Amino acid sequence: MRVLKTSLLVGLLALGLSACGTTTGERALSGAGVGAAVGGVAAAVTGGDVSQGAVIGASAGAATGAATDEDDLNLGD
């Protein structure tokens, strides 16, 4: 149960950070960080290899961050 609560907390924090960055590079970097955290936690929860989960998550997060356009994000500005 504790792992589930930790996973949810990490996921919520990652969601808050997922839109950080105004340039493509910044969004790719923040996406990679968020993806690594979420991938590592997901692998730990499911009993997989944490480092492999983090690498896969970082790759997916970086690709998503790089593909996101600044105009796609509404930060309340």
Q: How would you write the pLDDT of the chain (77 residues) with one tens digit per residue? A: 566 666 666 666 665 555 566 788 888 888 888 888 889 888 888 898 988 989 999 999 889 888 887 766 555 55
Sign of torsion, CA 65 68 71 74?
Answer: negative
Is the full-model pTM beyond 0.75? no
Confirm if 36 and 60 have CB atoms less than 8 A apart. no
In 3-state terms, what secondary structure has residue 77? coil
Residue 59's pLDDT is 92
**Of 30, 34, 39, 29, the residue nearest 13 (C-alpha):** 34
For residue 52, the model assigns a pLDDT of: 92
| pLDDT number for residue 25 | 87
Q: What is the pLDDT of residue 19?
A: 55
